[in-house]
Chains A and B, each alone.
Chain A
Amino acid sequence: MLTFVFYLLFLLIFVVFAVYAERKTAAFIQNRLGPMEVGPKGILQTLADLLKMLQKEDIKADAVDKLPFLLAPFIVFTAIFAGFSVLPLNANVAGSSISGGLFLLLAIISLDVLGIVMAGWASNNKYSLYGAMRSVAQIISYEVPIGLSVLCVVLITGTLDLQEMSIQQAGNGFLSWNIISHPVLLIPLLIFFIAALAESNRTPFDLPESESELVAGYHTEYSGFRWGIFMLSEYGMMLLLSIVITVLFFGGWNSPIPSFGSLMFYDWTSGMYWGTFWLLSKSLMLVFVQMWVRWTLPRLRVDQLMSLSWKYLTPLSLLMLFVCGIWKLWLVS
């Protein structure tokens, strides 16, 4: 219950600053300044945009299918926010204690496809429909490598509970992280990261909402608050997947600083608030990486997207599953 309240509030604040960070990152990479006018260095720009967005009319075109159209953004957001329920926050606050937490998370966040299809279909608009179709094809394809790469981690850690995984990675700073102590996980990490980008519909996999071809994809017809909910979901997905990557590979809420002899850095930087701090700062680093990738790589073509998933990531993750199995056997023996 505590994680629910915390993550809901954190998500709202995160979105405001992530939009700002995204625009600044884009600007810096492109030799620009980004928002500079509202507040010092433009820090309040998103708040101003938010105010404007909330005042906008909730437009419902005549030809839309009313009920699914109105419901879709909330289904997308609910599906994604439900994923937060199993995330741990620190050593004492664990979120929902379901033994199959990780698979619940993967299952429930793929339900956002439903909302996207509803939005695209109900909009009664070719761009929205194209966007929705692409999104469904993409998310369903990338479920496979994402599931398989998560399975690699599950195979090695032997648990599906995210809190249990974090506890396993406790001990000696970054040295006990999964990615360091089990180097075979490097490739599953890459696969997971690529697939996570595709799952959250972010560049270079932003075909469902590619501005240059589909106006805005499945949310073309939306305005005001409902559109805001879609944006919230998109950034929520970014944060969620970053936290999952942190827990799976980068030690969750564990401090990254190892102890040296009597210098107990690890113990000094552990604790309830430290744990939350480490978890969120690692995740925000990964969010930055997602933004960085966004402004580096151009969008894939639809056929490239499919071939990347089915011809490259899926076979590779199957192979990695095999390799991780051997690694585990070697560790056990």
Chain B
Amino acid sequence: MSYFANISYALRTTRKGLALTLKYFFSARFRRNKKSVAAANYFDGEKGTFTVQYPKEEIPVPDNGRYKLHNEIDDCIVCDKCAKICPVDCIDIEPIRAVEEYGKTSDGTSLRIHAAKFDIDMAKCCFCGLCTVVCPTECLTMTDEFDYSTSNILDHNFSFGKMTEKEIAEKRSEFDEFQAKKEMAKGDSESKKIKPIVQKNTGAKPVFKPRPIPKRK
């Protein structure tokens, strides 16, 4: 470019640049709406500052987003389906059979098993959502809570079981007594038909090894 063309180019571009930044400066009196990505007018209102001051304000997450799991334990029939379908085995359930139906869930299903332990380890969870799909009483759901980081990974294991140690021991002995009575009634020969409930290994969990999943029948 020639000497004078340079000058005029510099003036024009500087003027344009300054006009642009001044426009942005004044548009900072607006703030973008904190709309969910699902909102119909999500792309409207592009003006203004973009920052979301996170802990004080947040953008709503979509309803069908997959975040932290929650189990409504009163509605849980402890069917163990979620634990079975979980691809990463992050749900740990310890059931105790009740001697009889001890209540009903909110949708009218009978409660026959106590959940001595219902732990979901969100550190392992892969957020596939399969457990919420198989849950027959829809008590296991994904909530909109996504910020639950902790400094200790063990704190990512959330337990939903409400039973106290005492209650667990009580229910267990109740069932054992019931079982013993049944055996007495049926005689020793038949007692082997009823398997005692196998306690799950509560010690350190084995390291996950990838393996081919056997076909379910």
Contact = CB atoms under 8 A, between A and B. Distances in A.
Interface in A21-46: 25, 27-33, 36
Interface of B: 3, 6-7, 14, 17-18, 20-22, 24-25, 28, 48-51, 53
Contact of A28 (B18, B20, B28): B28
15 contacts: A28-B49, A29-B21, A29-B28, A31-B24, A31-B49, A32-B49, A33-B49, A33-B53, A292-B18, A292-B21, A293-B18, A295-B21, A296-B14, A296-B17, A296-B18
Interface of A: 25, 27-33, 36, 292-293, 295-297, 311-312
A226 to B, nearest CB: 33
B49 to A, nearest CB: 5
Given A297-B14, A297-B17, A312-B7, A292 B53 contact: no
A28 B51 contact: no
Given A297-B14, A312-B7, A31 B21 contact: no
Nearest to B19: A296
A34 to B, nearest CB: 9
Contacts of B48: 31
A53 to B, nearest CB: 25
B21 A296 contact: yes
B18 A29 contact: no
Contacts of B53: 33, 36
A29 B7 contact: no
Contact of A31 (B3, B6, B14, B28): B28
Contacts of B20: 296
B24 A32 contact: no
Contacts of B25: 25, 28-29, 292
The 3 A-B residue pairs with the shortest CB-CB distance in the complex, in nearest-first order: A28-B28, A33-B51, A296-B21
A36 B50 CA distance: 14
Contacts of A30: 24
Nearest to A190: B11
A25 B26 CA distance: 10
